[in-house]
Structure 1
Amino acid sequence: MILARVSHSVSLTDYRAALRTRGAAAPVLTSLLARLPVAMIGLALLLYVQRVTGSFGVAGLVSAGNLVGVAVGSVVQGRIMDRLGPTRPLLVVSAVFSGFVTAEIVAIESGGAAVPMIVLAVAVGLTEPMTGPASRALWTRLLPPGRTRDAAYSYEAISMEVFFILGPGIAGLLVNMPWAGTGLLVGACCMVTGSAGFALTPAARRHRPADRADAVGSLLGALAAPGMRTVALAAFGFGALLGMVEVAVPAAAERAGHAALGGLLLSVLSVSSVVVGVLYGMRPWPRPMYLRLPALLSVFAVLISLLALPTTLLGLTVALLVAGTLITPQSTAHSVALEGAAPPGTATEAFSWVITAVTLGSAFGQSVSGQLVEAAAPPAAFLVASGIGLVLGTVLWFRRRTLLTEDDVRAVQSFAETR
């Protein structure tokens, strides 16, 4: 028998208590504005470049460059914020980000070569203000461990899912404005305003770096901890499966003769995810954290295999509603698992590694799914995604003990001694 830390069940009262915590109102409101464009920037950039150049090939490379920049920049910014606090890094990076976005717009409007646009897209991603990890880390300062803090982490995951519903829709709407760059500009303005506002809140300015573990002196930083690598692997698998679905679903809609419904079908995933996410926080499953990551990814993989069964878009919609139920629970589990997995003093960097892992997983999944859709059909992509998820879920199962904290180990030893 293994005794392990379990996260607490949370109620609506716990959500209210977290959001009403003294000092939380200003960071919550400003971080909402900063994170709203998270799912807008990349898509708005892709659509903008495609409209101006007429090439999806160039637009795809620019978008991929932005994705790479975000993956690297999130960890670098997280590590700096753990050392200095969020205020100065967010203010500096917001200013630099504004400059790179301006330069990217000039490069696109000039109709020049693709290389400068790709390089600038990487720079835009590198300097995208990482207010999300800073916001998540701030809860460790505002709340003690327990149900209310778990509710705050669940809120972070649910709010991000809402932004992923709204972001692509807003980007698609704004690209149809008289100027195709409107989505990129609006998204950047929201991100800079919200990030600067968050950085200047009293709670953020009072943030002082915690004592850092010796392990974070290495190049890997927080990822040097075995438990962190397990959480990152779970996040990578989660991103990979989502990335494969995000390509295969629009392809299925196009093959059915309703290409315009592709984006709407993907939104169905998020709708069920948000609803179930709130309920899941009240009764998380499995209870032990060391079992939760492999179980959720494996079950998610099985649910994705159901997407290969329907022969109509209506059937696919129902299957997406079912599969979407495990999106927010996984995001919440990743966030809560960091409590025990991350070395002391690395809260922001640790969450940044989760973002990086999801981003890289999504890029991997999209590339694989694109090839499968072209070579075979969307159902093949769904089945391969399911297989990848089950393999990674098995690996997580064998790595489950890395999520046991020192307190858990002591509890196991104590239990063994009493036998």
Structure 2
Amino acid sequence: MKKWVALLASVLLVVTGAVGCSSDAGQQSQEGSSSGSPKVSISLWTLNTGWAWLQSAVKDFESANPDIDVELTQYEVDPFKENLKVAASSKTLPDMWFTWGGSLGSFYPENGMTMDLTQVAKDHKWSEKYNKTAIDMSTFNGKISGIPMHLNVLGMWYPKELYQKLNLKAPSKFADFESQLKTLKDNGVTPLAFGSKGGWHTMRLTEQLLEHFAGPELHDKLNNLEASWNDPAVVKTFEKIKEYTDKGYFPMGYSSLDPSEAEMLFYQQSAGIINEGTWFDGNITENGFDPAKFDVFNFPTEQTPTRASVFAEMLQINGASDPAKQEAAIKLGEYLTSVEVVNKYINDYGSPATLGFTVSEKTPHIQPLLDSAKNGGFLITDQALPQEVVQKLFEAQDKVALNEWTPQQAAENMENAVSAYKSKQK
């Protein structure tokens, strides 16, 4: 009996101590908060390249919201994608993360990992704050699954000085484009600054060639898996990749070249053309160059309408986070995409999905690129296709370049990958 009394006393002592500690902790949280609410800590993952402004913006947000702490983690592109995959599989995703649209961003809502923001968008009048295309590209299965951040348009960039030296101007036809590639090569300049490590950089050229040879209607059907990839237009596309490789139009060893290294060749004018988007003014400035010394043109094709490669980027919120964290994440996401923040950091922000922002003189190519998509756009390939099919495309590009597959074999393997994907969906 004495043992039970002693045990009961011990339990009561522990409980009392725990309550006291909990009370003290709550009091400390409230004392550290101007609003008297417990402090909320949220984790945010983003890219680092082109995002130098973010740390300052987060500090401003924390100053204005002393009840919220933001744990910011930033990665390079490919490590970021890999870390997100690992976190998704281990159910350790952060409270909020940056991602792309299409099949990259859809993975998380399709697997029940994101917060449904449809009602938030309605209550907070997102239709008055964000570009409709960006909202649409952040919507999956009828539900808004991300806070729109960027609306990006890709184009072909070139150094003005180099083009003036060689008496070249932006091409308007595909034949003119190919003639320029030869002129650049004949003058000791690598025509195309592409690095295929990771696959996505070269993919940007592959998709433009496919748009040219297939035309908009077939291109869309291919991306929607509604047409066979074992098609003459696909074969012609891979034939061009092989032709440009054989002619030395890409940097030597480009199949394993990091895109950032290819970018440096472009700045040095040892390479002539690079396919980048509305964020690239910021990249140029960040690397110590003047954006005004470069210009951009839409990939030249006789197809009508002439469409640009486009994609949206967003901030998704963890559906498993507790409501207080979700509320704080919404507040942070809307702050980071507000006109106030966009205009403050416009020189580095990229191409905002936010309406009503002021275009900066230091980002002179955003508006021309956005204008180039007025006739329409196609969703960039690594967001349009299922990821396992995207990986097969990356493999096909490399194997064609390395003479391991013929263009016909590349097209056949693409169709096999599509068939394998479809069979898993039944």
The structure with the largest alpha-carbon Rg is 2
TM-score (norm 1): 0.23
Larger relative helix fraction: 1
TM-score (norm 2): 0.23
